């Protein structure tokens, strides 16, 4: 197979690229990424020289480029991860999210249909989406594949819109597609704007830990390698036109997660137990902040036999160890533009 993976230099994309390059040596894997602040080729140094891997720098909104790539490589499949992915950034610049997440996805869909329309057999467009499209849960219940879409942030609205365009291209033009909606990922290579790597970095540097609101919002955490494994399973075994929810059955209130992380970090850094607690700082809540996400992942378990392998404790230990032993990666990605982002998001309020 010849597979186009978009956003492969980002957090989840780099784990997906690595998995496909290593586990499918007979495939040709083309990684298209325009290397925004979140994209980093250092994430893929270990596979960069593999003969079944090619990197192409470019924007998913560039129709000429996508057509050229389809012509050069004759793709059989697309795994689409490229996106603007951070909710806080979507609040300050919603249009960037509409451009990449909606228009960029439409360009990929349009070019895929044109390239494949004479024979859709053995072709597949796999769209990677998020549980945030379902909106917010109350104290109980789970998101299933039947939960109506109810997005609250510009990020989730843009992802919901892109999911609907994928469906529409399937219904209208016959494009074979599959969609998965996953819960919060954590693990190595995540950009330190998201909760877990941000707090790891801030604890290392003894900087304040900005907890939004009362810290009572709840997320369902999944290790990124478990997500990459699920993506492999869905790409190969998922049914045409189906959606699969992917989650960790692992709900944590933010404040409880922060205590777990803080204790593990103090231990690893050989600091006095509880040292991290003086860094906890309650700050203004995120506007439109969803209270709770929790995925019912029984469909993918029953139909495709996938379940997560990491326990949360194991995964967090491995993640912390990775950040502690990759301080150069961390300082490279937190130099330059990151400083401006940090100032606008946390210091200028
Ligand atoms: P990320 O921000 O770490 O990476 C996004 C990648 O896309 C980067 O490499 C970036 O350079 C690239 N990119 C952005 N705009 C582009 C464009 N216009 N053209 C080409 N490349 C572009 O994101 P992530 O956390 O790895 O998320 C990947 C996908 O998974 C996204 O679609 C996101 O919505 C989805 N998702 C993420 C999570 C999570 O917890 N992180 C959970 C569920 C779903
Ligand atoms: O649910 C899947 C989604 O998870 C993905 O689609 C998104 O791409 C990904 O960014 C993530 O979204 P969240 O908004 O849930 O993740 P984030 O790490 O930004 O925040 C997690 C929780 O922590 C959330 O309740 C907000 C809170 N938070 C976050 C930051 C960055 C804080 O309290 N302080 C912070 O500084």
Once rounded to an integer, what is the mean pLDDT over residues 20-34?
98
| In the chain, domain spans | 2-187+222-250+291-311
Burial class (CB in 10 A: 0-12, 13-18, 19+), 122: exposed
pLDDT digits over 241-294, tens only? Answer: 999 999 999 999 999 999 999 999 999 999 999 999 999 999 999 999 999 999
pLDDT digits over 180-192, tens only? Answer: 999 999 999 999 9
The yes-or-no verdict on residue 349 having pLDDT over 70 is no
Mean pLDDT of the chain: 97
**Which of 12, 101, 184 most suits a substitution to test ligand 2, by most atoms within 8 Å of the C-beta?**
184
Q: Are 3 and 77 in contact (CB under 8 A)?
A: yes
Compute the distance from residue 9 Cα to the ligand 1 centre, in Å: 9
pLDDT digits over 166-183, tens only? Answer: 999 999 999 999 999 999
Compute the distance from residue 298 Cα to the ligand 1 centre, in Å: 25
Say which residue the tokens 């606008």 belong to.
Answer: 344
Q: How many other CB atoms are found less than 10 A from the CB of residue 100?
A: 22
Compute the distance from residue 230 Cα to the ligand 2 centre, in Å: 21
pLDDT digits over 38-48, tens only? Answer: 999 999 999 99
- 155 is annotated as an active-site residue: yes
pLDDT digits over 92-101, tens only? Answer: 999 999 999 9
Once rounded to an integer, what is the mean pLDDT over residues 113-141?
98
Ligand nearest to the CA of 196: 2
The helix/strand/coil state of 271 is coil
Catalytic residue among 126, 134, 155, 177: 155
Say which residue the tokens 């809540």 belong to.
Answer: 285
Q: Are 29 and 100 in contact (CB under 8 A)?
A: no
Ligand nearest to the CA of 199: 2
First to last CA, the chain: 50
Query: What pLDDT does residue 348 have?
Result: 83
Question: Structure pTM?
Answer: 0.98
Task: Please state the separation of Cα 165 from the chain's center in Å.
Answer: 19
State which CATH number among 1.10.3720.10, 3.40.50.1460, 2.40.30.10, 3.40.50.720 fits the domain covering 2-187+222-250+291-311: 3.40.50.720
Catalytic residue among 56, 59, 84, 131: 131
């Amino acid at each position: 197979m010849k597979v186009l993976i978009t956003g492969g230099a980002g957090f989840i994309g780099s784990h997906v690229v690595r998995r496909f390059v290593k586990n499918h040596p007979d495939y040709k894997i083309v990684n298209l990424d325009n290397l925004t602040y979140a994209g980093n080729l250092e994430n893929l140094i270990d596979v960069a020289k593999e003969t079944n891997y090619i990197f192409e720098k470019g924007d998913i909104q560039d129709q000429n480029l996508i057509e050229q790539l389809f012509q050069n490589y004759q793709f059989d499949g697309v795994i689409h991860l490229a996106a603007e992915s951070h909710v806080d950034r979507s609040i300050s610049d919603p249009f960037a999210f509409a451009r990449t997440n909606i228009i960029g996805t439409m360009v990929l869909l349009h070019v895929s249909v044109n390239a494949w329309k004479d024979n859709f057999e053995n072709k597949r467009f796999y769209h990677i989406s998020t549980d945030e499209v379902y909106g917010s849960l109350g104290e109980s219940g789970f998101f299933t594949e039947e939960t109506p879409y109810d997005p609250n942030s510009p990020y989730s609205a843009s992802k919901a819109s892109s999911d609907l365009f994928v469906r529409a291209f399937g219904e209208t033009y016959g494009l074979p597609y599959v969609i998965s909606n996953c819960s919060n990922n954590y693990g190595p290579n995540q950009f330190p704007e998201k909760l877990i790597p941000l707090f790891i970095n801030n604890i290392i540097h003894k900087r304040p830990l900005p907890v939004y609101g009362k810290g009572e919002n709840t997320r369902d955490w999944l290790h990124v390698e478990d997500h990459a494994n699920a993506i492999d399973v869905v790409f190969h075994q998922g049914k045409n036109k189906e959606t699969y929810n992917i989650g960790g059955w692992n709900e944590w209130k933010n404040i409880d997660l922060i205590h777990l992380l803080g204790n593990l970090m103090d231990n690893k850094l050989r600091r006095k137990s509880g040292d991290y607690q003086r860094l906890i700082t309650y700050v203004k809540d995120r506007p439109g902040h969803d209270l709770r996400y929790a995925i019912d992942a029984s469909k993918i378990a029953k139909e495709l036999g996938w379940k997560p392998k990491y326990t949360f404790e194991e995964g967090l230990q491995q993640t912390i160890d990775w950040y502690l032993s990759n301080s150069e990666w961390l300082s490279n990605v937190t130099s330059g533009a990151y400083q401006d982002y940090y100032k606008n998001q946390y210091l200028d309020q």
